[in-house]
Amino acid sequence: MTSWLAACCVAWLCAPQAPTAPWFVERPAPAFVDHHGRVGLAKRSITEVNGGGVGLFDLEGDGDLDLFFAQGDPHDGSGPRPSQVFRNDGAFRFEDVTTACGLDLAIDACGVAVGDVDDDGDDDLYVTAIGDDALLRNDGGKLVRVDGAAGASDPLWSTSACLCDLDGDGDLDLYVCNYLALDETADSLTRAGATFRGMPVLAGPLGFNAVPDRLYRNRLREDGTLRFEPIDDAAIGPPAFALGLLALDADGDRDLDLYVANDSQPNQLLRNDGDLKFVDIGLEAGVALGAAGNAQAGMGVAAGDLDGDRVDDLFVTNFSHDTNTLYRGLGGAAFKDTSRTSGLGPPSFAHLGFGCAFVDADLDGALDVVIANGHVYPNVEASALQTSYRQPLTAFANDGRGRFKPFGAAFATEPCVGRGLAVGDLDGDGAQDLVVTRLDEAPLVLGNTNATTARIVLRLIGAVRSGRDAIGARVTLELEDGTRRVRSIVGGGSFQSASARELVFGLCESDASATLTVDWPSGASRTLTAEPWTRSTLTEGVDAIERVVLPRPGSLR
Amino acid sequence: MIAAVALVVAALAFVQDGGRAATARLQDDAIEAKAPPTPPTLREVGQGVLERSRSDGFAAVREDVARFVDDVIAANVYESPPDIVLGDVLDALLEQQITLAAALQDHELMTSTAVALALVGSGERGVARLEAAVAMHDATFACVLAAGHVRSARDDANGALELYERASALRPDSSLPWHDRGATLGRLGRFPQALEAFDAALRIDPTNAGAQFNRAIVLEKLDRAGDAEQAYRTLASGDTPYAPRAALNLGTILVRRGDREGARTAYERCVELDPDSASGRHNLGALLVELGEDAAAKPHLERAATLRPNDPRPLALLGQIADDAGDVETAERHLRAALRCDPRFQSARYRLAQLLRRSGRAEAAKEFEDAS
């Protein structure tokens, strides 16, 4: 308690106060049950244990975040079940609108990326799968599958994907993480002989062949016709067991670089050298390996400025009996592994982390860390290994200087086999809520309990050179006392999931207006004043700012 | 090897006689020469004994020979560094002793001296003598067992197993041949048979700590970590010479399982029992680093680095601690020291490369990245 209190005594943070109440409470879940693989102990191959992700997107342009769940194959001979879409009424009530929105997508879906690929102002979806992926164009609330015509359907086992402008032409290109080759026979997929610390386990990924990721250039025509052009694999390095993906400007040169978390192989930081040419600088940058120079089992990823130095840090979830890894950004694409000293590494030893995110859960101005955990070996509890198949969600409270304490009471939920995790304001109160997918179960919808701390929410819509989703934009908030906080809009993140892209600034005890400076990816800059308890939508190149007043404590909604 | 030689020396001491006159003469010489009070070196003692054996005959110095062999073993001069001159003295004395034993038809003395020669002196001659003794139909239990040790040490496992079986026939009430049989089978990777041998040893003598310890190792090899853990726990809580190593191995089982607090307790027990256990110090230090307790880890790693100066692991971890604390200079020193021990040591290479890059020395870093 003492160290926690001391850590919070930073000028620009809240008065010292250890969290006591849960940050998030469970809300009624949508009518969706994960069917990736046979249930529980019956799972027999690696294809059954990675689960599916969740995407937060605005289906109908009504301002509420709706939900897409990637559904899988239950391996019961009936084939993959359909993925589902749920419309959000803005008060944690979700209606199944899969049929209503025209979606009939029965593929062995894994993950989802969200982005306006046709630049028409709404959110489109790219769904990764074991087998052919799907590109779903949003036509006024109807999801139309267009991957065949658009040339964007990766046939490999795809996991995470990201829609972001990688060539600086303003439209969203596509990067797809691919995992392993499935040309093995069914027998080989379920082959025996693999062990983990002496325990017989499901085989893979080691022992299987990795497959290359895929990069597609968006050749959107002026008439709105979508066309994706695959880029030579050589542009993005050798095959690896890729699971997690982020797009961020790691070297500060105003283009988007890519960070790929690989399972059991070195992670990659693909520096964008222009014209869709990339160079892997992961090793030199210090983000490829663990502290001992070993490849880890990267799953989920997150990025953001955790320590207030205005440089984005990188976080990767890893396997159990290893630790999650925090790479502190030093600027100029240089990082230092601070997993141990930050306090994020050691407590993660027993957990197998998947989805993760940086969230200002307590709205104190500092980004906290939330993680969905769950083992991949259903039989792990039969061994003497000190871990479990179902694991708790974990959260770490940031003292504002990038030092963390586990906050065990952050979630009032039972342990689960957590996989995907996405962040967004589901009830319109300006605080970030969570959706977590769980293997074999319904997802968790977790509402942020903080209704009293002032906040400012900002949504950016970029002009041509920034891309509509403004991925790569940086926003600096400055309070009256001179305190500054920096947030970036990153692409991708977490594990097979897509979070909302709006930025939330917790104001802690302050209730005064703040100055926001937006540095667009295009190089343009804009400064505006924002009042607490407001959500502002800023469009690049447009003077007018849309403002919505958020519900305050005691106000009627 | 030292333990085996100690047994031999004990046997030598059993048959020794005389030597008091020589000791008195040494004292007289010291008085006449008014020598400084500094005690003679081992080499001087050995050379003195050898000269007297040549002038007075070996029988007159047998007791001094036994004491000298004992001192040599205690001083551990054959371990590091080898002392050639001293070895020659020792060999010469043991050769004389074995010659005397043959002349006296003292079979016990001959075989035990042969074992000593095989283990600490000129091996080939000693082994030849020992084999000759074993070939005699009335070879003693100790002789057969010792010959088994020598054959096992020389990778003649089948020969050793035959001799252990013969030793068991000579002394069915002894657990030692069964233990040695188990150890040899274990080295051959024949773990089920090794386990049977250790079980047999423990049926004869349930207190045979060596058999308990080696049985636990075999249990681990047979993927019976739970049984091994229990065996190590029992041993680690006792006070036999095997307790520190049992605690060490227990810690390693618990680390593998993910029970880091249990492992910490085990490693702490190891270094409590044997403060000079380099492995115990390193493993405890490494675990504390994982737990983020750098201040607690540091003294253990420093001690491990001192005890085993050629081990890169504690040095690399000390480098990591310093690097994480922002002490670049100390970190670089430790990491480079680790790489002097093993130029390909991965974690030191990686961390040093990272450190050099952060220090603006990208070109220097490449040397360590390329080979990583």
CATH code (residue B370):
1.25.40.10
Averaged pLDDT for residues B188-199:
97
pLDDT tens digits along B261-314: 999 999 999 999 999 999 999 999 999 999 999 999 999 999 999 999 999 999
Chain B hits for A377, Cβ within 8 Å: none
Residue A495 binned pLDDT confidence (cut-offs 50, 70, 90): very high
Averaged pLDDT for residues A85-102:
96
Any B CB within 8 A of A387 CB = yes
Nearest-CA distance from A16 to chain B in Å? Answer: 24
Query: What pLDDT score does A182 carry?
Result: 82
Give yes or no: residues B302 and B334 share one domain: no
Chain B hits for A284, Cβ within 8 Å: 357, 362, 365, 369
Residue B127 binned pLDDT confidence (cut-offs 50, 70, 90): low
Chain B hits for A334, Cβ within 8 Å: 357-358
Q: Which of A137-146, B56-65, B106-115, B144-153 has the lowest mean pLDDT?
A: B106-115
Do B351 and A336 make contact, defined as CB atoms within 8 angstroms? no
Give yes or no: residues B239 and B302 share one domain: yes
Give yes or no: residues B285 and B360 share one domain: no
Q: How far is CA A92 from the centre of its chain?
A: 21
Cα A203 to Cα A46, A209, A263, distances in angstroms: 7, 12, 13
Query: Which residue carries 């085993």 as its tokens?
Result: B308
Query: DSSP labels for B95-108?
Result: HHHHHHHHHHT-HH
Chain B hits for A330, Cβ within 8 Å: 358
CB atoms inside a 10 Å sphere around CB B360: 9
Q: Is the pLDDT of residue A276 over 60?
A: yes
Query: Would you say the C-alpha torsion B62, B68, B70, B73 has a positive or negative sign?
Result: negative
Cα A540 to Cα A529, A537, B243, distances in angstroms: 15, 10, 72
Q: What is the DSSP-derived secondary structure letter of residue A376? A: S
pLDDT tens digits along A357-411: 999 999 999 999 999 999 999 999 988 888 999 999 999 999 999 999 999 899 9
The domain boundary, picked from B308, B326, B357, lies at B308
Do A291 and B358 make contact, defined as CB atoms within 8 angstroms? no
Averaged pLDDT for residues B88-107:
66
Asked if residue B32 belongs to a domain, the reply is no
Chain B hits for A387, Cβ within 8 Å: 258
Query: Which residue carries 């073993």 as its tokens?
Result: B73
Query: What pLDDT score does B61 carry?
Result: 79
CB atoms inside a 10 Å sphere around CB B60: 17
Residue B44 binned pLDDT confidence (cut-offs 50, 70, 90): confident
Interface of A with B in 248-307 (CB under 8 A): 283-284, 286, 289, 291-294
Query: What pLDDT score does A223 carry?
Result: 87
Nearest residue on chain B to A350, judged by CA atoms?
A: B258
- The contacts of residue A348 (CB under 8 Å, 6+ apart) are A317, A318, A323, A324, A371, A394
Chain A hits for B360, Cβ within 8 Å: none
The domain boundary, picked from B290, B308, B326, lies at B308
Average pLDDT, chain A: 92
A292 closest CB neighbour out of B260, B347, B358 = B347
Asked if residue B46 belongs to a domain, the reply is no
Give yes or no: residues B229 and B304 share one domain: yes
CB atoms inside a 10 Å sphere around CB B58: 22
Q: In B, what residues contact A, Cβ < 8 A?
A: 223, 225-226, 256-260, 289-292, 294, 320, 324, 346-347, 349-351, 353-354, 357-358, 362, 365, 369, 372
Query: What pLDDT score does A224 carry?
Result: 84
Give yes or no: residues B345 and B365 share one domain: yes
- Taking the C-alpha atoms of residue A60 and residue A89, their distance in angstroms, rounded to an integer, is 11
Asked if residue B271 belongs to a domain, the reply is yes
First to last CA, chain B: 38
Asked if residue B298 belongs to a domain, the reply is yes
The answer to whether the CB of A314 falls within 8 A of the CB of A286 is no
Q: Is the pLDDT of residue B24 over 50?
A: no
Chain A hits for B324, Cβ within 8 Å: 338, 340-341
- The contacts of residue A519 (CB under 8 Å, 6+ apart) are A473, A474, A475, A476, A525
Question: Number of CB pairs < 8 Å for A and B?
Answer: 66
Amino acid identity of residue A202, one-letter, is L
pLDDT tens digits along B208-236: 999 999 999 999 999 899 999 999 999 99
Query: What pLDDT score does B7 carry?
Result: 34
Do B226 and A320 make contact, defined as CB atoms within 8 angstroms? no
Query: What pLDDT score does A174 carry?
Result: 96
Within a 13 Å sphere around the CA of A556, how many CA atoms are in the beta-carbon half?
0
Q: For residues B349 and A235, which has the higher predicted lDDT (pLDDT)? A: B349
Cα B24 to Cα B19, B43, B322, distances in angstroms: 9, 19, 59
Q: How far is CA A69 from the centre of its chain?
A: 14
Give yes or no: residues B230 and B293 share one domain: yes
Query: DSSP labels for B44-84?
Result: HHHHHHHHHHHHH-GGGGHHHHHHHHHHHHHHTTTTSS--H
Averaged pLDDT for residues A129-146:
96
Q: For residues B13 and B122, which has the higher predicted lDDT (pLDDT)? A: B122
**Dihedrals phi, psi of A14, to nearest 5 degrees:** -60, 160
* Strand A514-519 with A525-530, pairing: antiparallel
Do B365 and A292 make contact, defined as CB atoms within 8 angstroms? no
Give yes or no: residues B353 and B297 share one domain: no
The domain boundary, picked from B258, B287, B308, lies at B308
Query: What pLDDT score does B276 carry?
Result: 96
Name the E strands within A184-265. Answer: 195-196, 199-200, 214-218, 228-231, 242-248, 257-262
Domain count, chain B: 2
Q: How far is CA A500 from the centre of its chain?
A: 9
Query: What pLDDT score does B83 carry?
Result: 44
- The contacts of residue B40 (CB under 8 Å, 6+ apart) are B48
Interface of A with B in 215-254 (CB under 8 A): none
Asked if residue B364 belongs to a domain, the reply is yes
Cis peptide before A532 (omega within 30 of 0): no
The answer to whether the CB of A553 falls within 8 A of the CB of A497 is no
Any B CB within 8 A of A384 CB = yes
Query: Which residue carries 């390329």 as its tokens?
Result: B370
Nearest-CA distance from B364 to chain A in Å? Answer: 12
pLDDT tens digits along B100-121: 666 666 656 666 666 666 555 4
Do A293 and B256 make contact, defined as CB atoms within 8 angstroms? no
B259 closest CB neighbour out of A320, A323, A386 = A386
Do A330 and B358 make contact, defined as CB atoms within 8 angstroms? yes
Nearest residue on chain B to A323, judged by CA atoms?
A: B290
Q: Is the pLDDT of residue B315 over 60?
A: yes
Within a 13 Å sphere around the CA of A458, how many CA atoms are in the beta-carbon half?
31
Q: Which of A108-122, B66-80, B141-155 has the lowest mean pLDDT?
A: B66-80
Q: Is the pLDDT of residue A144 over 80?
A: yes
Average pLDDT, chain B: 80
A386 closest CB neighbour out of B257, B291, B358 = B257
Query: Would you say the C-alpha torsion B120, B124, B129, B134 has a positive or negative sign?
Result: positive
Asked if residue B18 belongs to a domain, the reply is no
Asked if residue B196 belongs to a domain, the reply is no
Cα A306 to Cα A267, A341, A487, B294, distances in angstroms: 21, 13, 10, 23
- The contacts of residue A18 (CB under 8 Å, 6+ apart) are A1, A4, A5, A8
Give yes or no: residues B327 and B298 share one domain: no
- Taking the C-alpha atoms of residue B372 and residue B365, their distance in angstroms, rounded to an integer, is 11
Do B351 and A321 make contact, defined as CB atoms within 8 angstroms? no
pLDDT tens digits along A402-447: 999 999 899 989 999 999 999 999 999 999 999 999 999 999 999 9
Query: What pLDDT score does A6 carry?
Result: 37
Q: Is the pLDDT of residue B169 over 80?
A: yes
Query: Which residue carries 């504002």 as its tokens?
Result: A400
- A304: tokens are 């953001």
Query: What pLDDT score does A234 carry?
Result: 63
A291 closest CB neighbour out of B260, B320, B372 = B320
The strand pairing partners of B27, in sequence order, are: none
Query: What pLDDT score does A21 carry?
Result: 85
Q: For residues B352 and A224, which has the higher predicted lDDT (pLDDT)? A: B352
**Dihedrals phi, psi of A153, to nearest 5 degrees:** -140, 95
Give yes or no: residues B304 and B282 share one domain: yes
Give yes or no: residues B274 and B349 share one domain: no
Asked if residue B343 belongs to a domain, the reply is yes
Query: What pLDDT score does B8 carry?
Result: 34
Q: For residues A136 and A186, which has the higher predicted lDDT (pLDDT)? A: A136
Q: How far is CA B70 from the centre of its chain?
A: 16
Quote the ipTM score.
0.87
Query: What pLDDT score does A14 carry?
Result: 54
**Dihedrals phi, psi of B198, to nearest 5 degrees:** -65, -40
Query: What pLDDT score does A347 carry?
Result: 94
Q: Is the pLDDT of residue A274 over 70?
A: yes
Nearest-CA distance from A323 to chain B in Å? Answer: 9
Give yes or no: residues B262 and B324 share one domain: no
Q: Is the pLDDT of residue B12 over 80?
A: no
Chain B hits for A384, Cβ within 8 Å: 225-226, 257
B292 closest CB neighbour out of A197, A330, A340 = A340
- Taking the C-alpha atoms of residue A490 and residue A512, their distance in angstroms, rounded to an integer, is 27
Q: Is the pLDDT of residue A15 over 50?
A: no
Query: What pLDDT score does B79 carry?
Result: 36
Nearest residue on chain B to A344, judged by CA atoms?
A: B292
Q: Which of A120-129, A183-192, A336-345, B241-250 has the lowest mean pLDDT?
A: A183-192
Query: What pLDDT score does B10 carry?
Result: 31
- Give alpha helix (H) positions in A333-386: 339-342
Nearest-CA distance from B327 to chain A in Å? Answer: 14
Query: What pLDDT score does A199 carry?
Result: 87
Averaged pLDDT for residues A101-107:
97
pLDDT tens digits along A298-356: 999 999 999 999 999 999 999 999 999 999 999 999 999 999 999 999 999 999 999 99
- A79: tokens are 């084939």
Q: For residues B56 and A556, which has the higher predicted lDDT (pLDDT)? A: B56
Do A349 and B290 make contact, defined as CB atoms within 8 angstroms? yes
* Strand A433-438 with A301-304, pairing: unpaired
A contact test, residue of B354, B359, B369 with most A CBs within 10 A: B354
B256 closest CB neighbour out of A197, A338, A340 = A197
A283 closest CB neighbour out of B294, B351, B369 = B369
Nearest-CA distance from B274 to chain A in Å? Answer: 28
* Strand A313-316 with A325-331, pairing: antiparallel
Query: What pLDDT score does B47 carry?
Result: 78
- Taking the C-alpha atoms of residue B204 and residue B191, their distance in angstroms, rounded to an integer, is 20
Cis peptide before B81 (omega within 30 of 0): yes
Give yes or no: residues B228 and B302 share one domain: yes
Do B291 and A346 make contact, defined as CB atoms within 8 angstroms? yes
Domain range for residue B361?
Answer: 318-372
Percent of chain A with pLDDT over 70: 94
Query: What pLDDT score does A3 carry?
Result: 40
Query: What pLDDT score does A12 carry?
Result: 44
